[in-house]
Amino acid sequence: RVGVQELLLLPCRAKRISVEYRPKSHVRRMEYSKRSSGMTARVGVIDYGCGNLKSVTNALRYVGAEPQLVTTPDQIRCHSHIILPGVGAFGAASETLRNTGFEETLQQLYAEAQVPILGICLGMQLMCSYSEEGGKYEGLGWFDAQVIPIDVGTSALKIPHMGWNSLSIRQETEFEEFHGLTEKSDVYFLHSYCVNCSDSSDIVATTTHGSEFTSVFAKGIVWGVQFHPEKSQLTGLNFLEAFTRI
């Protein structure tokens, strides 16, 4: 038995492992089984100075992918899949993407619709139309969605929303079967702002913390998740592996 930190550091050749974790107040025992696949996915993880990327690359390596940090826009097209991670302030992140040339290349990639793209946490928010965090800042505009403060109302719930919470699946698609995220899957969150998606056809799953927000959206081969799959133990590993097989 190992914890999540040890799990993400295990060698790639391990095929099956049994772990215990405590998403809430109880212990769950689950197994992760690496699926056999053809070509190894070469996943580019965009490094634009917003977040610690080690846990993301460790998780990708564990599920059999070949991750590489992408530090310049010209490196993006060398990969079969792209991940846009991120933690921190929306305004600073969007400005960095613009000033470094990443935004232009990502917009081209999105328009071509040939390479799967996954946004994680702030990366998901950057895919939206705009954010109200610290003002009003434009995003990539891939989804008709807005980034707004989490509204907990008069409840005793705390901000930031930090820890385990569940997903409510909103679309009857192949998502549940293919990606391993099912109704009430427990995943790990850490954020103070959330996504309000205006186009219901893009919403794959929602989560409630005081109020309901969009926790997963998708459009073709472009996905965004508010939770951290690299911190969501077996559910997160299964999701990342499924993404690398798109």
Show which residues are catalytic.
121, 228, 230
Q: How many helices (H) and strands (E) does the chain have?
A: 7, 16
Decide: residue 105, CB within 10 A, 0-12 exposed, 13-18 middle, 19+ buried: buried
Query: Which residue from 246, 193, 190, 185 is spatially nearest to 220, judged by alpha carbons?
Result: 246
**What are the C-alpha distances in Å from 142 to residues 113, 116, 139, 218, 238?**
12, 13, 8, 10, 25
> What residues have CB less than 8 Å from 191, skipping those under 6 apart?
121, 122, 150, 160, 161, 226
Give the whole-angstrom CA distance, residue 76 versus residue 78. 5
Give the whole-angstrom CA distance, residue 245 versus residue 178. 10
Helices 90-100 and 102-112: angle between axes, nearest 10 degrees: 90
Give the whole-angstrom CA distance, residue 32 versus residue 130. 37
The answer to whether the beta carbons of residues 87 and 133 sit under 8 Å apart is: no
Q: Which residue has the tokens 């133990």?
A: 233
SS3 13: coil
